[in-house]
Every structure is written in structure tokens, then in C-alpha cells.
Amino acid sequence: MLMSEHIVPVRVYITIFLVLLVGTALTVMAAFRDFSYRFGNHEVQLNTIIALTIAVTKATFVVLYSMHVRYSSRLVWVIVASALFWMGILFALTFSDYWTRGWLPVGLLTLCYSPRWSVISLTSIRFLQVGQFRRIVAV
């Protein structure tokens, strides 16, 4: 059959449920703090990393115990691993675009319309309105 015939005691499920509740409480508590640190000129924001670490831990508990993967055959483990690998590919493809948006060379039209004259990437041109475009050309 799909799963092995391992009988999991109810106590395990209650424990996992309590672990998930504690994880949720930790996530909420961590979200109400500011974990941003300064190292010289760099400001590091750890809130996202902390929240996602707790979330990955909780998801691991759900997959291992609630989805019975821990008691399943090696084949199920291989399927889970391949699914995670495929998800990693999708993340890599997405972030190869998302992280490198600001790396593009700066042209004349990419001067930003903000009051501070900061610089935007070429990909942001499409967000400029026509009036802003004319203003930049006039400048």
C-alpha cells in the first residue's frame, strides 16, 4: 500500500501539535521584535531569516510525523527529496532574476524620478509613467 503499516500512537500527534503551537508562538513573538543589526555600513535584517527558520522546522515536523514520512519506505524518502530538489530549482530560477534586478548597468533613462535622484535599474523603466518619462527627457 502507499504507507507502511506502522501504527503511530496518539501521544506522538499530541506532541507534534504542541511543538507546532510553540513554533507559532515563537514566530509571533519574533515578529514583534526588530532583529536588525548594523555591521559598519551594512544593516542586516534577521526577521525574515528567523521566521523562515521556524517555519522550515515546523514544516519538517509536519512532513516527518503528520505525513508519516518518518515511518515510510526509502522510496517515499527519495520522492520527498526529489520534490525538495525540484523546489530548489524553481527557487534558484526565480531568485536568479529577483536578486540581480539591481545589477543591470545604469543608463540615462534609469535616473530615478525620486526626489533624492537615486538610481533604479533598467527593468523599472516600465513602471515610469509617460509624464515622468517626458520630465526625465526634459531634464
> Distance from CA of residue 51 to its chain's centroid?
9
Amino acid in position 73: S
Q: Do residues 58 and 66 make contact, with C-beta atoms less than 8 angstroms apart?
A: no
Of the candidate residues 19, 80, 112, 136, the single one contacting another protein (CB under 8 A): 112
Q: Which residues contact 68 (CB under 8 A, 6 or more apart)?
A: 3, 4, 6, 8
Report if residue 45 touches another protein, rule: CB under 8 A: yes
CA neighbours within 13 Å on the CB side: how many for 111? Answer: 13
Report if residue 19 touches another protein, rule: CB under 8 A: no
What percentage of the chain's residues is helix, strand, coil (to nearest 5)? 65, 5, 25
Q: Which is nearer to another protein, 70 or 112 (CB)?
A: 112
CA neighbours within 13 Å on the CB side: how many for 104? Answer: 18
Of the candidate residues 11, 41, 48, 74, the single one contacting another protein (CB under 8 A): 48
Of the candidate residues 19, 25, 62, 108, the single one contacting another protein (CB under 8 A): 62
In the complex, minimum distance from the CB of residue 127 to another protein, in angstroms, rounded to a whole number: 8
In the complex, minimum distance from the CB of residue 61 to another protein, in angstroms, rounded to a whole number: 10
Q: Which is nearer to another protein, 55 or 81 (CB)?
A: 55
Tell me the backbone φ, ψ of residue 113, rounded to 5 degrees. Answer: -90, 10
Of the candidate residues 114, 126, 130, 137, the single one contacting another protein (CB under 8 A): 114
Residues that bind another protein (CB under 8 A): 1-3, 20, 24, 27-28, 31, 34, 36, 45, 47-48, 51-52, 54-55, 58-59, 62-63, 66-68, 112-116, 118, 120, 124, 127
